[in-house]
């Protein structure tokens, strides 16, 4: 996965991501910027969270889990391999680690913990804190290429610790939640662009700088952006689609069960809008191509 100039420059939801009974579920990895609120539980391959991230449910990591300082988890943390917890992390349930546990100072686990491997208690700073310090410094001095390489090296290191039977690391998808985001059953709110992949099933209203939604995705909520909104083929949006200053593009077979408000609109004639369309600029109807004989 390419992170571009900044690993947290977009909310990225990869193909096949679902929300199941208030859990955010993906077969890939999850990377969450600092000071974000994720009211779901999270189930993924590897989970990496920055400082002061709040989780409203449990965490289940098939492999490694890294939580930076002051993170809070409302329920259990279950880790299939190794866990790394920064200082003053609070876990409201149990902590169960199949591998090694690297734990910082003043960590609270309400219902106790168990690790099958080595247990290392650090004081005062975790290696995960250094990861974010280095990354932040590289971005501040405009070393975006070096920052991107650094993140890719961390991801590659995590993948190198997996079993030989695991799939190629190049095929691993990743959910990226930007710094300061709010993610819940009601809203996905970020100040960055948002990209939602194919075959996803999500709940909540999406608020972002701009939004792209892949094909065959089912979103139970509205879309609102300052810029453009692009909706791919056969996607269902159960809510309004609104942009303040941008254009809306709706592809063939898409279904919008709400109003569409935008500047310019491109609408395929095989798409359906079950609401009012208000476009202050140009409206372009795209006709279905004639099938080749």
164, 30: one domain: yes
Residue 76 lies in a domain: yes
pLDDT at 228 (0 to 100): 97
pLDDT at 129 (0 to 100): 55
**CB-based contacts of 99, cutoff 8 Å, min separation 6:** 79, 80, 81, 82, 83, 115, 116, 117
Give the residue-averaged pLDDT of 9-31.
90
Residue 172 lies in a domain: yes
65, 165: one domain: yes
Q: Which of 125, 158, 181 is the last residue of a domain?
A: 181
Residue 70 lies in a domain: yes
Q: How many domains does the chain have?
A: 2
Give the residue-averaged pLDDT of 244-267.
96
62 to each of 8, 44, 93, 267, how far by Cα in Å?
Answer: 23, 6, 18, 42
pLDDT at 168 (0 to 100): 44
119, 261: one domain: no
98, 242: one domain: no
Q: What is the pLDDT of residues 139-149, one digit of tens each?
A: 666 666 766 76
Q: What is the pLDDT of residues 26-74, one digit of tens each?
A: 999 999 999 999 999 999 999 999 999 999 999 999 999 999 999 999 9
pLDDT at 121 (0 to 100): 78
Question: The whole model's pTM is what?
Answer: 0.80
Q: What is the pLDDT of residues 120-138, one digit of tens each?
A: 876 554 455 556 666 666 6
Residue 60 lies in a domain: yes
Residue numbers of the domain that contains 207: 193-286
pLDDT at 224 over 90: yes
What count of other Cβ atoms lies within 10 Å of the Cβ of residue 192? 21
Residue 72 lies in a domain: yes
222, 117: one domain: no
Residue 9 lies in a domain: no
d(CA 259, CA 279): 11
278, 163: one domain: no
Residue 206 lies in a domain: yes
């Amino acid at each position: 996965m390419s992170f571009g100039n900044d690993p947290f420059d977009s909310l990225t939801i990869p193909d096949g991501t679902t929300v199941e009974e208030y859990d955010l579920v993906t077969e890939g990895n999850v990377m969450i910027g600092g000071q974000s609120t994720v009211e779901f539980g999270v189930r993924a391959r590897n989970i990496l969270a920055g400082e002061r991230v709040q989780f409203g449910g449990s965490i289940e990591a098939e492999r490694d889990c890294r939580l930076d300082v002051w993170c809070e988890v409302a329920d259990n943390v279950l880790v299939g391999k190794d866990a790394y917890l920064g200082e003053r992390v609070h876990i409201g349930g149990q902590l169960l680690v199949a591998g090694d546990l690297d734990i910082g100072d003043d960590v609270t686990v309400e219902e106790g913990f168990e690790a099958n491997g080595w247990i290392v208690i650090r004081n005062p700073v975790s290696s995960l804190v250094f990861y974010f310090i280095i990354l932040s410094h590289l971005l501040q001095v405009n070393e975006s290429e070096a920052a991107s390489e650094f993140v890719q090296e961390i991801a590659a290191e995590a993948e190198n610790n997996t079993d030989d039977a695991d799939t190629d690391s190049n095929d691993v998808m990743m959910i990226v939640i930007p710094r300061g985001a709010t993610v819940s059953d009601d809203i996905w709110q970020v100040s960055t662009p948002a990209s939602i992949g194919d075959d996803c099933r999500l709940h909540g209203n999406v608020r972002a700088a701009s939004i792209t939604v892949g094909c065959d995705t089912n979103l139970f909520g509205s879309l609102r952006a300052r810029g453009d909104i692009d909706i791919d083929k056969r996607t269902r949006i159960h809510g309004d689609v609104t942009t303040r200053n941008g254009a809306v593009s709706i592809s063939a077979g898409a279904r919008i069960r709400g109003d569409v408000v935008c500047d310019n609109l491109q609408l395929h004639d095989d798409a359906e809008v079950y609401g009012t369309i208000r476009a202050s600029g140009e409206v372009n109807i795209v006709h279905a191509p004639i099938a080749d004989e």
